[in-house]
Amino acid sequence: MTHSTAAGPEPVFIEVGQTRDSETVGQTQDSGTRRIAVRARSGGAPGLFWLGGFKSDMQGTKAIALDAWAAEHHRACVRFDYSGHGESGGAFIDGTIGRWLEESVAVFEQFCQGPQVVIGSSMGGWMALLLARELLKRPASLMSLAGLVLIAPAPDFTEELMWKGFSPEVKHEIETNGVWLRPSEYGEPYPITRTLIEEGRRHLLLGSAIEVGCPIRILQGAQDPDVPWRHAFALAHRLPVDDVVLTVIQDGDHRLSRPQDIARMLAAVAEIG
């Protein structure tokens, strides 16, 4: 584990890709080596494992609040940045769901011990479900999931919330040029690549039951412009486990980073264990 300061653990870096068997996480192409930044806090179990959103990083409001809660309650907490995000290496334009999943699995395997509560925000909710599915395929070990806390989860977003909603003109640009610069309310336009869309189809979950083997708590804002509340209902419908609680926050947006939203997230984490 890393050295901690008053501001939280310092980052350490691991190399992911090429030397790993990418078949285990659903990739067939050579994904290349990426330098991944990880901030890991030592502590008791269940540990907390943070999975951030698309174009987000581990220094965001929710991730920092989670780490502070872990410090207060003497719990282990692991955060990291996907390649092309935050403090990690690589270019965002090269990112795919499979590549970011490979990194998620690698960080989980290297830094997590014992049962974990996985907290996934937006795209991180998709990653959390894919990670849970990967862990279920593996022999029983000391690593296990105590539960999932999903915040505005966006499984299948590359297909359901991007591709299907794009205009014919945007689809044509992606298909012919391989990339489209999508305007963003949160900063500079960001690239949506044909590779991101096509590779994302290998990881779609909403077409059948999603086996995760642990309790799930979902927090969803009714005013979310990026991930409609109906998307969270579609996800809940695909979760066969009995212990699934979906909380709709009537005035909540996509980020769910207000103090009252943070409190709900931490309450869900505490409820699971």
The CATH number that applies at residue 78 is: 3.40.50.1820
Please indicate, yes or no, if residue 113 is contained in any of the structural domains.
Answer: yes
The whole-number pLDDT of residue 141 equals 56
* Grouped pLDDT means (10 residues each) for the chain, 273 residues: 60 84 43 91 97 96 98 98 97 97 97 96 98 86 83 98 98 98 87 98 97 95 97 96 95 96 98 92
Does residue 239 sit within a domain? Answer: yes
| Residue 172 in domain | no
Residue 176 lies in a domain: no
Q: Is 201 contained in some domain?
A: no
For the annotated catalytic residues, the residue numbers are 122, 224, 254
pLDDT value at position 137?
85
Amino acid letter for position 207 = G
pLDDT in tens, 184-238: 877 889 999 999 999 999 999 999 999 998 999 999 999 999 999 999 999 999 9
Q: Extract the runs of DSSP E, i.e. beta strands, from the chain.
A: 4-5, 8-9, 12-16, 34-41, 44-51, 75-80, 115-121, 144-151, 179-184, 187-193, 216-221, 244-249
Residue 50 CA, distance from chain mean position: 7
Assigned domain for 119 exists: yes
pLDDT for residue 138? 79
Asked whether the beta carbons of 212 and 136 are under 8 A apart, the reply is: yes
Residues ≥6 apart with Cβ < 8 Å to 175? 194
- Tokens 């192409």 found at: 29
Residue 242 pLDDT: 87
| Residue 187 located in a structural domain | no
Is residue 74 a part of any domain in this protein? yes
- Structural domain boundaries, residue 90: 4-155+211-272
Q: Please count the structural domains in the chain.
A: 1
3-state secondary structure of 250: coil
Nearest to 81 by CA among 143, 12, 178, 169: 12
What confidence score (pLDDT) does residue 45 get? Answer: 95
Which amino acid, one-letter code, is at 201? Answer: R
